Structure formats: C-alpha cells, structure tokens
A and B are shown apart, each in its own frame.
Chain A
Amino acid sequence: AQSVTQPDIHITVSEGASLELRCNYSYGATPYLFWYVQSPGQGLQLLLKYFSGDTLVQGIKGFEAEFKRSQSSFNLRKPSVHWSDAAEYFCAVVPVYSSASKIIFGSGTRLSIRP
C-alpha cells in the first residue's frame, strides 16, 4: 500500500542551527512530492514541491528538499532555523498522473526551536 513515513514525531533544534526533517515514501513509481507547513492554529501552506528534473528543489522561507530515488526519500532541510520556523511539517505524495484528491500525508513532524 502507498504510504508516507515521517519517522520523527517531534524535533527540537537551537535557533541558528541546521535542520533536516526526514520523509520516506512507499510507492511503485516516483510520485509528486510535497512539503507543507502548519503554524499553530493555521491551515497548511505549501513549502515546496518536486515533480521531475533537478532533485534539489528550493522552496519558500529558505527551505530546500532533496529527492533521492534510491532511498525513496524527500528530506527537508534548512541551513539556519529561526524561531518563526516552529510549526508542524507534513510530507505528502500524489501519484503521478493522478490528482490532488489522491494526496497522502505523513503524520507530521513538530518542530520546536530552542532560544
């Protein structure tokens, strides 16, 4: 069955430190890949997406993610986190040639920032 795994439920990093959030998917073919962020009490906002081409994609707010086909991974990174990055982060996949109605979300990683 198709699935998205975010192995880290909660991560705490110091402000200014680097960040990597992990995401692994299980799917027969390379799907469309997304990272969404949800600030407390808010909806989800798209950070970045991968459809094809360059495996390193840049997103908003200084985030980037790297697609690694051999590892079925799409990890999110930021070189230096800010206190405003504290939020819940969701990895998501959509089967290629499918539609947004088939999106599968991971269970999320909550990011806390240590002053």
Chain B
Amino acid sequence: ETGVTQTPRHLVMGMTNKKSLKCEQHLGHNAMYWYKQSAKKPLELMFVYNFKEQTENNSVPSRFSPECPNSSHLFLHLHTLQPEDSALYLCASSQLSGGDTGELFFGEGSRLTVL
C-alpha cells in the first residue's frame, strides 16, 4: 500500500460507546496530524505528532484521545462523544525535517456519526 490509509471509512456510534480511528502512512514521514472537517466549517487542526511526540493540541476536548505508537501509525480514541462531534476526520502526514515544504498528504478520511 502507498500513501495514507484510514480505517474505518465510516463509523456510527452512540454517545456512550468507545471506538478508535486508525491512520497509517507508508511515506516515511515523521509527522502526523488529525483534522476535523465539519459541514460549512473550515478544516480544524486537532493534533500534531512529530517523531511520535505530540507537539500541538488545539484545545481539543478530552473525549478525543490521540495515540502515536510510532511514526507510521496514529490513532484517535473516541469516548462519550456528542452529536456535534459528527464529522469527517482526516489524517495527514508530512516530512518535518530535511527541507520541510509544508506539504501535507491526506488520507481519505473517516466519516463519524454520533447518535
């Protein structure tokens, strides 16, 4: 496989459920990101991981819990979500050293619906 792969593509969960989104990149990048894309709202950066260390958390509620076990994998653990958390969650990766061009490589997204 190549690029950035996200699973599952679609997820429906109740407000009391616990689920996880997974992202895997095969590009040899050292930075990974979670974005939230809601209808009629700009893309929102949630978390940034650089060499497995979280470097940014943009005031994301604690019901979203990221995990980055290595530079190729990124998870977003979800628990006690609210209906307003329904959105497309996009994972991206980039190379943050050796000539960072600022370019992001995105996965196809995980469409989350919270009932």
Contact = CB atoms under 8 A, between A and B. Distances in A.
Interface of A: 32, 34, 36, 41-46, 49, 51, 90, 94, 98-103, 105-108
A101 B101 CA distance: 11
Chain B contact residues, majority secondary structure: strand
B111 A41 contact: yes
Contacts of A49: 101-103
Contacts of A102: 102
Contact of A101 (B42, B48, B107): B48
B14 to A, nearest CB: 23
Given A100-B100, A107-B42, A44 B106 contact: yes
23 contacts: A32-B102, A36-B106, A41-B109, A41-B111, A43-B106, A43-B108, A46-B103, A49-B101, A49-B103, A98-B100, A98-B102, A99-B31, A99-B94, A99-B96, A100-B33, A100-B102, A100-B103, A101-B31, A101-B45, A101-B48, A101-B94, A101-B96, A105-B43
